[in-house]
């Protein structure tokens, strides 16, 4: 392996690319690099995932098995849990989770352990890029010091005077922008923001990603790249909180909030529609505001606006359960002891992704308040144990008219396209709709409660 690499090296053909973390972010990225002709190795601590990938099988619904099989067969992609093989890589990309702990504080244990796994195998001339969403300063303050325990150095430097600064290896941050299930914008079409700890690192990362995405957007530092990712998702979080709060006001005022949003959307400038729901889900939007507000305290700065948005969104699952209780009360039933069918556990429609799904919190609250519940989700025949929840004993129940009629209420938590909402409303005693999924159902509107 050459040790005197320049950033331009990463423009080369058939690089050896290591992707650590073969989940919703890492696996599509690995396949994209393989598609571009590079030799890709996926690293994961889960031996079951490694076995499936090497057999050419997919465990993520929107990633076709044929695509994995194609690159496994052509020897452009393989998986391993042997981190010693990182020595062979030209570039190492970190795509591991960055969740919140039980106190809603950043949990960077996956990033830290990954950096520790790279450090004994780090080679001169390698490029290491963190893609996991995090607070500004993580790459410089956490990842880089761990890597430098190898004895190799990558100095932090910015500005014109740092243009040709020498380092033993390259370090950068490039936030993932994966949107599971989005058929309009795939990884190759989404611009990639890149920032290095020094100018050569930034240029090396730009050269690498330019081979797999249509446009690379360079920024001056890793901190700028880290903050850009937070801004993207906090923008969504704040606006979703706004419409969630507006929805609760509209319910009291007997105004249809979805009609209001549609009307406002007719304005061709100065407005972007956001839609209410049962709470935030996914790997970024529910998490990012808390990462920034936690880091801001280090600078004696209170992010009041962001924290308020977080409070509104965190409260939504409680609002949903209160709405179910109120709807049952109108039918002379109490929530305690009632049988509820929850439709959809995925965090958004038409994906097999449970990360931070508000449905999981709704189920927890229903359980604490004494309700009996089942769930149906075509993407999850059975649930598994998760970080904060254990519903591994539960299986998706059949969605038949006979089954629907046995429940005191049916709660639409995720509006999957495969659901026949007309049949659901006809067969159910009561439907509580958190997504306005029943908006086109004409019959039996008296059974539907929007919340």
Neighbours of 228 (CB within 10 A): 16
284 is catalytic: yes
The owner of tokens 């591991």 is 96
Active-site annotation holder among 95, 154, 237, 284: 284
Residues 373, 324: Cα–Cα separation, whole Å: 12
Per the rule left: phi > 0, alpha: psi between -120 and 50, beta: everything else, 282 is left
Residues known to be catalytic: 284
């Amino acid at each position: 392996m050459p040790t005197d690499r320049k950033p331009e090296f990463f423009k080369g053909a058939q690089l050896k690319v290591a992707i650590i973390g073969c989940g919703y972010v890492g696996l599509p990225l690995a396949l994209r690099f393989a598609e571009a002709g590079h030799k890709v190795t996926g690293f994961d601590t889960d031996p079951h995932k490694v076995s499936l990938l090497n057999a050419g099988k997919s465990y993520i619904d929107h990633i076709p098995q044929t695509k994995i099989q194609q690159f496994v067969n052509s020897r452009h992609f393989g998986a391993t849990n042997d981190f010693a093989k990182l020595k062979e890589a030209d570039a190492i990309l970190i795509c591991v989770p960055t969740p919140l702990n039980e106190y809603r504080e950043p949990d960077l244990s996956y990033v830290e352990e990954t950096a520790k796994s790279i450090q004994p195998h780090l080679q001169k001339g390698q490029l290491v890029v963190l893609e996991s969403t995090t607070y500004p300063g993580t790459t410089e303050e956490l990842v880089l010091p761990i890597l430098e325990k190898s004895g190799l150095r990558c100095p932090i430097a910015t500005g014109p005077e740092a243009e040709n600064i020498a380092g033993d290896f390259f370090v950068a941050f490039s936030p993932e922008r994966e949107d599971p299930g989005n058929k309009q914008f795939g990884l190759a079409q989404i611009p990639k923001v890149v920032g290095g700890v020094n100018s050569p690192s930034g240029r090396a990362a730009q050269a690498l990603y330019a081979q797999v995405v249509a446009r690379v957007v360079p920024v001056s530092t890793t901190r700028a790249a880290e903050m850009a990712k937070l801004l993207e998702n906090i923008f969504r979080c704040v606006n979703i909180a706004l419409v969630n709060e507006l929805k609760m006001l509209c319910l009291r005022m007997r105004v249809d909030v979805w009609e209001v949003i549609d009307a406002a959307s007719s304005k061709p400038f100065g407005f972007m529609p956001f839609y209410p729901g049962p709470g935030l889900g996914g790997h970024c939007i529910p998490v990012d505001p808390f990462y920034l507000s936690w880091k801001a305290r280090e600078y004696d700065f209170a992010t009041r606006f962001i924290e308020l948005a977080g409070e509104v969104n965190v409260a939504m699952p409680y609002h949903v359960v209160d709405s179910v209780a109120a709807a049952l009360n109108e039918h002379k039933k109490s929530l305690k002891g009632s049988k509820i069918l929850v439709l959809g556990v995925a965090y958004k429609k038409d994906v097999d992704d449970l990360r931070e799904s508000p449905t999981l919190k709704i189920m927890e609250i229903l359980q604490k308040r004494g309700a009996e519940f089942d769930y149906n989700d075509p993407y999850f025949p059975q649930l598994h144990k998760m970080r904060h929840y254990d519903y591994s004993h539960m299986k998706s129940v059949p969605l038949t008219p006979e089954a629907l009629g046995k429940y005191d209420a049916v709660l639409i938590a995720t509006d999957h396209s495969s659901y026949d909402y007309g049949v659901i409303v006809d067969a159910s005693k009561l439907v509580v709709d958190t997504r306005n999924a029943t908006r086109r159902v004409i019959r039996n509107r008296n059974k539907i409660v929007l919340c």
